[in-house]
Structure 1
Amino acid sequence: MDASRKRKLSRQDHFNNYEKLRQRMKTQLSSASKGQASSTILNDIDELTRLYGAIQNDRLRLDTKIQLEDSEVFREASDVAAINARNIRLGDLGISVNEEDFMNSLKEFAGRSVQEGNYEEDEEEPDEYSFNKTNWLKLGVLYHQVSKKPISIDFLNGPLATERRRPVVRTRNQDDTKSAHLTTASNVNAEDITINEEHNTAYMVRMVYQTYLEKGVPDEGMNFFKFFIDPESFGQSVENLFYTSFLIKDGRLKLYQQDGIPYIQRVTQQEMEQEDKAVTHHHIARFNYQAWEFYIEKYEIESSFLGHRDEAPEDEIPDDELDV
């Protein structure tokens, strides 16, 4: 066999060659990001062309997987070339573009016929027909695709344009701050902000607790409903329930059940010392006007344990429910 005749490459050999080229291009990404991979990219394209030619001269030219591999490697080579072209600095590499060739190519791209000679001659004698013949929209689309400059919106310049205001004669307001009497929201007297102890929550909580101590409630406690309900006033019953909830929350009184009936009892000194070990529960009770009438009749409550406070007569009985 003639030694000069090359060995035919197998299907796997073609894949290996493409893979080697792909790995070599990956190592060139850092140079391409600096715009310094122009020569190596040209070598890669030449190598890609050689590999493709070797496939066409082989019986494997009809293998779709090899054709697909060639297309993928060619696409990756195009991506690397685009990255390199985007970062090329002409001054650093000493590469320059002929100005006349650039302008002639630009005119040809825009749809104008290019004649031999210097492009400056056309600029010295501008022709309206030549200007209108240029496809400026095509140039604008190209600029939009390759430029990184944001595109301005010219149609907003009209609405955003500033207009000079016409001078308008205004009536001068009379300054009456020096002659008229000034009134402000903070102009109040000291007695207007004096706290009324009868409407002070902390004071009323202390009074409820003091009443509990003075009336000598048995050690086993007393019926919770008999404790806070005022049979003469639904409103004061709600207030008593509100004040009692603070005493329970602060650990002065405790609420428990006995035979299904809630009882209230004083917390002993020993229980206060063991407050960290005490188990607390959160209860939500519904108390409205119908419940107030029901418990008065059920437990035969004739007078208020906490005493009845003088109040203005109520025109209507409140029907709102109170959740505690």
Structure 2
Amino acid sequence: MPRDSLDSQLGTDYDPDQDPEEKRTLRRQYRSLYKSTTEDAQGHAQDLTAEQLVEKVKQSDSLFHRVKGTAEATLDSTFLLAATQMGAAKARAMKAGAGAFDVDDFVSRLITYMGRNQGVAVPEDIDSDEEQDYSGELLDFARIGRRALAKSHRVPVMDFMLGPLSIEQKKRAVIKRATLQKDEREKKKPQEITESDITRSENETTKNVATLERILQQQDNKVNLFRVIVNPDDFGQSVENLFYLSFLIRDGKCALEFEDGEPFIYVTEQPSEEDYAAGLRKQQMVMEFDMATWRRAIEVFDIKDALIPQRPKSTMRIGGKWYG
């Protein structure tokens, strides 16, 4: 339907600038109408008479002529939905003769009359102009259509009454999945490791710190820090040497001092508790030692050989295998 004719039929136009007070009043009246309708019914459609329900729908129609916004139209739709549900409930509760109207029985009779025999006999009061085969699967909607045309003025179309009555409920196919069977012969027990299988290595840190202390004690004078720790063939062990040297300095067995900006290491007598009580304090520092510094030290101090001998890489034996 064209927009102009729709507006003229409803008697209203969309107006986003409608007076706010008018919109609040309209919403309040819609809510009051919805509340009175549902509370009067109290969940039972038969508590409202058909005349009362029609009167409330008329009130909704009068309110709808003042609707000019979507929020108010939503309230109108909510009320109409509730009224429709009540009307449907009242229709289901209608009694014809001695018993209530049975929807299931009505549908079964329709199916039987239109050709699908489900064990329900054709009523005697239904006349048939031609013999009907009830063994077919499709429903003959044309047959019930000819009956309906006698009572209806609606123009018949191709899909008239075509739908749910001819649809079979689909059953979900059950798919059985094959279970993977594993060959028991391929299973292997995990390797058991006992205490005797693990060869424990010596405490490398303690051993290497002691080795470095002996090397420094053999030096007559102060030694340049980089000549002590740098291994020109192994950057990793140079970093380890610096790590081991830090233990000697921490325990007070070695001292670090600078002369004209050059760091020197020398062996000292380990301080006693009396020395610390007299005011001797330990000082901490963080030294950055990366590969660029390592290469620069080798170049500047012309380091050819390592003062600390090259150490073999530590390995650990677990079971029958070696891990480096």
TM-score, structure 2 as length reference:
0.45
Instruction: Considering fraction of residues, name the structure with more helix.
Output: 1
